[in-house]
Amino acid sequence: MSARGQTVKAMAIIRRPRDGALLVSDGTGPAREVFQRPLGGHVELGEYAAQTLRREFIEEIGQEITQLRLAGVLENIFAWDGGTEHEIVFIFTAAFADQAAYEIAEQFILDDAGTRVCWRAPGSAEPPLVPAGVADLAALAGEPG
């Protein structure tokens, strides 16, 4: 496998207050394997990870987030489409600025209508939650605020 590159990302753990469900987006790997991950994205040059999250949540689902706290940093090395990817992922806890956002059951990424955003029930094992270690950080972090 060839090395592809290193990426710095930021993702936010947002739990729905009424049941502890985790906000995730669906993804599909090169072999059509399904996974879920917290929302977030690539940290741009000159941008702090917390700024990335604020920008990404506006771009992806039109929502502002608050109460950002760093929960941990994960390193993720994985095979992807014939190569090796290496991610450094800043994981934050956060909350929606607008409480009504917690009641949106399902939506799609604004600039990618094929990517679904939904609430993952607590304790769900399938599909896998990535990156590895994020479920442990979510369990340790508890509620923001």
The amino acid occupying position 6 is Q
Q: Which of 20, 36, 18 is nearest to 28 (CA)?
A: 36
Interval 34-70: pLDDT, tens: 999 999 999 999 999 999 999 999 999 999 999 999 9
Q: Provide the whole-model pTM.
A: 0.90
Give the C-alpha separation, 135 to 129, whole Å: 7
Domain spanning 2-141: which superfamily? Nucleoside Triphosphate Pyrophosphohydrolase (3.90.79.10)
Give the C-alpha separation, 114 to 135, whole Å: 24
Interval 73-96: pLDDT, tens: 999 888 888 888 899 999 999 999
